[in-house]
């Protein structure tokens, strides 16, 4: 399971079009479902903006999962934060 919000925002100085950031914005929730599995499914479905959230993880855990998520988002031409 994951949380979904509607996102239509700019990134200030970043050279990314509004069109690329429009649409579903998925926020992972590890307490409900594995973030990597969530990412694989929603990226395959066309989501282009993904946020990792885990308030209980250590910095080391967040970096590890974040690096894996970034690999997945690059493969799908998506953004992650």
Is pLDDT of 4 > 50?
no
Of 23 and 47, the one with more pLDDT: 47
Measured CA angle at 67 (ends 26, 31), to 5 deg:
50
> Over the chain, what is the mean pLDDT?
78
**pLDDT at res. 64:** 95
| Residue 14: per-residue pLDDT | 42
Confidence of residue 78 (pLDDT cuts 50, 70, 90): confident
Buried b (16+ CB within 10 A) or exposed e, 51-60: bbeeeebeee
50/48 Cα distance (integer angstroms):
7
What pLDDT, on the 0 to 100 scale, is given for residue 62?
93
Q: Residue 63 above 80 pLDDT?
A: yes
Domains in the chain: boundaries: 3-80
**Which of the two residues, 52 and 20, has the higher pLDDT score?**
52
CA angle 34, 38, 40 (to 5 degrees): 120
């Amino acid at each position: 399971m994951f949380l979904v919000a509607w996102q239509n925002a700019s990134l200030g100085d970043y050279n990314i079009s509004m069109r690329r950031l429009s649409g579903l914005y998925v926020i992972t929730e590890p307490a409900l479902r594995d973030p990597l599995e969530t990412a694989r499914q929603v990226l395959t479905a066309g989501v282009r903006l993904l946020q990792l959230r885990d308030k209980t993880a250590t910095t080391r855990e967040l970096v590890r999962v974040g690096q894996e998520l970034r690999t997945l988002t690059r493969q799908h031409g998506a953004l992650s934060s």
